A and B are shown apart, each in its own frame.
Chain A
């Protein structure tokens, strides 16, 4: 057992390490949610363009694709830190559960991220250079591998919530059943729920920005109407579907009583009793304020889905004239940041509800932190959280900047650098430019 002096240092380093993880993971997920939500939409736009040939779809691909890329870069950058943070601050986890926790993370890098990024680089630079069907295939591959990435991460996180797939031998968790690991309901239900939530984020992003332009009486009416439709339909379908998160409550009552209590399906007293019976004396309840984010999250899916349905009905009933109604368009544009907040709220509930366990029932969080001096943790906190905060501000600043400019402002994907400014295009780029505009 650690000596008292070390114990005190470890405790504060622990809190800082936890805060660092929460903030870095939170930032990372903000970017990931938009990436996952926007990628399929951009892929659909490009598909419609390649097969339908309408210029507006090509414009949409480039405009929304530009926003997608700015955000995607930050997703990758913040993800780099996540990959290393486990070994850095939490080597107690890697020692105890490395044999099983490391596997999905390794597989994420090898089967998903590697291909995703390689193909994305080719998509960015391949406009007009690669054959159009190949170029289209690339964005679909990027979308698929992004979702595969999310799956592996949810498998890893799901293991933390509900350790399956093996057992503890000599103080280390050994993997024996991979099938169990990847069919863990905590992983699967969590993944499906996350997909729906991400699609809500992406679709309301598109719908909201389109609405903003309509409120400003945009000249690109056809462009934004097409975008608005797409955003609203996807939000209307997937918003309400996020209710599937409730399906997890059925087993949370047994597996994680304190989290279930935060949702009100179990009384705190019953939760405390169950956990005391399981783990011996101690305070296992989640902080009482966890009820609030839990409640907010539960109703937001219907709220946003319902809002989208209403605007859709208005669009149909008014034969599209609703785009001229500022009192509808403006509020719709205000909605944009809200799904981002909700997904963070969701993660807060999921992770705080897991405490005090790092691997539920087997390894406590305070047993998992690396034996690093407080100064070390402070340094990494300042460097990573500091840089992330600045980058997030830049990211959203740039997104707002480009979103406001609209598609006619130019400087979009695939245009040659100097040539675009001079109005000259060469070779293959000219063909695709002409085809798109």
Chain B
């Protein structure tokens, strides 16, 4: 299997993760804003519900392929970005525990605490992943390097953190608009509309400031292609404006439009991530495992990737539609 395909697999898994769990980050971030009472917040969590586990597996698969096919990069990256890894994994644990445990007790205090933890952890996750992407753009770790410490929180990284947070908040709001009924769905549409311009401006700012500050010049191999793909993320954002009409109150009449809007925000999250990966492709490919190992993994991937894809498609089709107070809830 040609080496570049491994980059594609790794990239696809990470991109898939960020555009899937990304909307969960967004819903978590907006939980207290969109959800006015316990019932609404529970509904938001259960809108993510059936997909929650299925989304998360993508990061585990990414870590797996990173470890299996790019073991040196795995070590260098996780050690080099040590504080960010602790932040992101810590956030993931707390957010997951929140989803899992929040509604297990009736107590209002229990639920309030977990709601705030979910919101905070989702924010940490969104911002943390932005920091990771920004950090990668400033240099992919190589070799047995130590942690980069303060460099991980450089201004450029902070900007990427903020922009990624806005992007996933938008993606989450659109997801909520697609899945929730009437009142809640309508509010989600309004929140989403307010986030379109900040998200677009953010993407442009990241690209522009990367060039202007020279922060990314050393690390990025194919700047033109990388930037083009990243800026292409603006197109789906533009498409959102007609798709999310302010008077939409949710319900089956606008299902098609909301579905298309969701596809648009998914692309808006995916394209910048793909852009980052494209820009760093050489550095990443340099750290591939031996051909013997790659051959072994490829054999399994050929069998398993279709199964993985099919299981996800089955998941999405089985739980399509809006959820309301009478729908089965677990979270």
Contact surface of A with B, Cβ cutoff 8 Å: 69-70, 73-74, 76-81, 83-84, 86-88, 91-92, 94-95, 98-103, 105-111, 113-115, 117-122, 124-130, 166, 174-176, 178, 370-373, 376, 379-380, 383-384, 387, 391, 394, 398, 401-402, 413-419, 424-426, 429
User: Cβ of A130: which chain B residues have Cβ within 8 Å of it?
Assistant: 318
Q: Is A379 within 8 A of B86, CB to CB?
A: yes
Type the 1/0 row for B233-270, where 1 means its CB is closer than 8 Å to any CB of A: 00000000000000000000000000000000000000
Q: Is B75 within 8 A of A109, CB to CB?
A: no
Q: Is A102 within 8 A of B67, CB to CB?
A: yes
Known: A73-B96, A84-B63, A106-B67. A371 touches B325 (CB 8 A): no
User: Cβ of B290: which chain A residues have Cβ within 8 Å of it?
Assistant: 99, 174-175
Question: Which of B53, B71, B311, B312 is close to A99, meaning CB atoms less than 8 Å apart?
Answer: B71
User: Cβ of A415: which chain B residues have Cβ within 8 Å of it?
Assistant: 328
Jot down 17 A-B pairs with beta carbons below 8 A, ordered by A: A73-B101, A78-B93, A80-B56, A81-B89, A84-B63, A87-B67, A117-B53, A119-B311, A121-B50, A121-B51, A121-B54, A376-B82, A391-B97, A394-B101, A416-B327, A418-B326, A429-B328
Closest residue on chain A to residue B76 by CB atoms: A91
Question: Does chain A have a CB within 8 A of B231?
Answer: no
User: Cβ of B67: which chain A residues have Cβ within 8 Å of it?
Assistant: 83, 86-87, 94, 98, 102, 105-106
Contact surface of B with A, Cβ cutoff 8 Å: 39, 42-43, 46, 49-54, 56-57, 59-61, 63-69, 71-72, 74-79, 82-83, 85-86, 89-90, 92-94, 96-97, 100-101, 104-105, 144-147, 289-290, 292-293, 296-297, 300-301, 304-305, 307-308, 311-312, 314-315, 318-319, 325-330
Question: Which of B39, B79, B93, B292 is close to A174, meaning CB atoms less than 8 Å apart?
Answer: B292
Closest residue on chain A to residue B325 by CB atoms: A418
Interface of A is mostly: helix
Q: Is B300 within 8 A of A73, CB to CB?
A: no
Interface of B is mostly: helix
Q: Is B90 within 8 A of A384, CB to CB?
A: yes
A127 to B330: give the CA distance in the assembly, Å: 11
User: Cβ of B60: which chain A residues have Cβ within 8 Å of it?
Assistant: 79-80, 83, 109, 113-114, 117
Q: Is A95 within 8 A of B82, CB to CB?
A: no
A4 to B27: give the CA distance in the assembly, Å: 50
Can you name 13 extra interface pairs (CB under 8 A) apart from A73-B97, A103-B293, A114-B311?
A: A77-B92, A80-B56, A80-B96, A88-B85, A103-B296, A106-B297, A121-B53, A122-B315, A176-B292, A372-B146, A373-B146, A414-B328, A425-B326
Known: A109-B60, A380-B86. A103 touches B68 (CB 8 A): yes
A419 to B42: give the CA distance in the assembly, Å: 13
User: Cβ of A101: which chain B residues have Cβ within 8 Å of it?
Assistant: 71
A250 to B53: give the CA distance in the assembly, Å: 42
Q: Is B93 within 8 A of A94, CB to CB?
A: no
Known: A87-B67, A103-B297, A126-B318. A387 touches B96 (CB 8 A): no
Q: Is B83 within 8 A of A115, CB to CB?
A: no
User: Cβ of A73: which chain B residues have Cβ within 8 Å of it?
Assistant: 96-97, 100-101
Give 4 nearest A-B pairs by CB, closest first.
Answer: A98-B71, A106-B68, A109-B64, A91-B75
Q: Is B90 within 8 A of A387, CB to CB?
A: yes
Q: Is B315 within 8 A of A91, CB to CB?
A: no
A95 to B78: give the CA distance in the assembly, Å: 12
User: Cβ of A118: which chain B residues have Cβ within 8 Å of it?
Assistant: 53-54, 57, 311-312, 315
Q: What is the distance, in angstroms, from A34's C-beta to the closest C-beta of chain B? A: 15
Q: What is the distance, in angstroms, from A136's C-beta to the closest C-beta of chain B? A: 15
Known: A107-B64, A121-B51, A176-B292. A418 touches B39 (CB 8 A): yes
Q: Is A98 within 8 A of B311, CB to CB?
A: no
A76 to B77: give the CA distance in the assembly, Å: 23
Question: Which of A69, A122, A175, A371 is close to B146, meaning CB atoms less than 8 Å apart?
Answer: A371
Q: Is B328 within 8 A of A417, CB to CB?
A: yes
A376 to B152: give the CA distance in the assembly, Å: 14
Q: Is A77 within 8 A of B311, CB to CB?
A: no
A80 to B57: give the CA distance in the assembly, Å: 10
A88 to B308: give the CA distance in the assembly, Å: 27
Question: Which of B43, B75, B326 is close to A94, meaning CB atoms less than 8 Å apart?
Answer: B75
A178 to B94: give the CA distance in the assembly, Å: 37
Q: Is A84 within 8 A of B85, CB to CB?
A: yes
Q: Is A125 within 8 A of B64, CB to CB?
A: no
Closest residue on chain A to residue B69 by CB atoms: A106
Q: Is A77 within 8 A of B100, CB to CB?
A: yes
